[in-house]
Structure 1
């Protein structure tokens, strides 16, 4: 059984899953896009509906022989520097077009899919879809209108801000952030996501198929990802939250995910986000939840 991991062995999560799949009897290779097109070869014949990959080590496989692909990270392709910038752009665009096409044409089971990956890149849609499912979300404003930002903050006791796309930690809004010249300058560069700060506890729920594994994350930080000493305590979430977790996963076109919730002292759960390719090894080690086992089973079904 051929299984690919989109990513590379320098990533601890990818390496961990590579070992687990190999021990379970799968033939596992990395699909490392950094080697395309210099060492990783691809071919697709639309007229025949067939294609193949030749990996950097020389192993060649037909696309129909790939059983499943685990989406860990989609890296940049590597086009060597060319003297002509136009030719450089043409080569890069050609490579990315081929890569994007192959990901979507390969008949293997992708966990998670291209559609899930694209949906995750559009966080405003993600929050809107969650609310449409009846899931509670924090009061949120997303945009680059300075007046709208000021009005949103003025009506709330505490507000956090974070990137629209992701890639940086959450911070509390301070008076310095709202200084007119600074605010106008920042919002002229990029929009921002603002949310009402929800006091309470961080809960992370991993969903794999119909299984939901949840833990309380104890940390004094506004963004627990900054806290290397954060504690993970297994918890049972209400049945409604379990059902919402599965519903979110399916509505976001995923087969597995990590959902971040905020639990208030009054017992209310607020949805924050769902990640289509979360790290999980530390979570599993702290909680003893069988995440690796379930992912291996999912990829080898």
Structure 2
């Protein structure tokens, strides 16, 4: 059974999954897209939908022989320095073939490109989950200073964060609402504003129909900044488990980590679903068999 790990073999989670899959008897190659086009060769024929990958090791793999793919990370193709007029052409050509090959590969993807697209479009992800009847924070995504001010004036406590990701959540202060500052920063990039939800941090991992949950105890606004955060396994009611599975399916996710806030006197509030979450620390602290569940999914 031939399985690809999409990512760099030096990255901890990619390396861990490769080792676990090999221990289960699978043949594993790493599809490190940062090696393309200099050290990774890709070919695809539209007439036959036949494709091949040739790795730096000399291994050659047909798309039709790949049983499944674990999506850890998709790196940008590494384009050598070129004439400035040719650099964007080479970058677009590399990205086009790479995207075509990924979409054409008939293997089972965990997760798919559709799921990856949803993650890149987080406002749309929130809308899709809200349409399921699941609470989300009151949210505004904008680069309009007037909209920011109007949103802030009607609400007591707000947080802000990037639209796509890449930085931690911060609390909105009066200094952030200074007119000149707003014009400057919103001229650089839009922002996501949300009502602050008091209560408990929860993270649920979903692998197909299995759901694993833990409370994350932390005094930090964004628990990712807290090295002392505690993870306490919790048993979820069946209704909550069904919600987690419904979110994963609505977003095209075979597996995901979902972040929630649980107010003291209200329903869980959905924050985000990640299509390629880190999980080793969570697994080590809780004892949940996430690796085993992923291996079973990829080798089935």
TM-score, structure 1 normalization: 0.98
Q: Distance in 2 between matches of 1:259 and 1:244?
A: 11
Corresponding position: 1:52 with 2:38: no
How far 1:150 moved relative to its partner? 1.1
The aligned counterpart of 1:77 is 77
Corresponding position: 1:257 with 2:267: no
5+ long unaligned stretches in structure 2: none
How far 1:240 moved relative to its partner? 2.0
Matches within 5 A, 1:112-127: 112-127=111-126
Q: Distance in 2 between matches of 1:191 and 1:34?
A: 28
How far 1:237 moved relative to its partner? 2.3
Matches within 5 A, 1:126-165: 126-165=125-164
How far 1:257 moved relative to its partner? 0.3
Aligned length: 300
The aligned counterpart of 2:225 is 226
How far 1:267 moved relative to its partner? 4.2
Q: Distance in 2 between matches of 1:10 and 1:124?
A: 32
5+ long unaligned stretches in structure 1: none
The aligned counterpart of 1:189 is 188
The aligned counterpart of 1:68 is 68
The aligned counterpart of 1:101 is 100
Matches within 5 A, 1:236-251: 236-251=235-250
What secondary structure, in the 3-state scheme, does the structure 2 residue paired with 1:86 have? coil
What secondary structure, in the 3-state scheme, does the structure 2 residue paired with 1:22 have? helix
How far 1:234 moved relative to its partner? 0.3
Q: Distance in 2 between matches of 1:228 and 1:10?
A: 23
Q: Distance in 1 between matches of 2:236 and 2:266?
A: 10
Corresponding position: 1:177 with 2:167: no
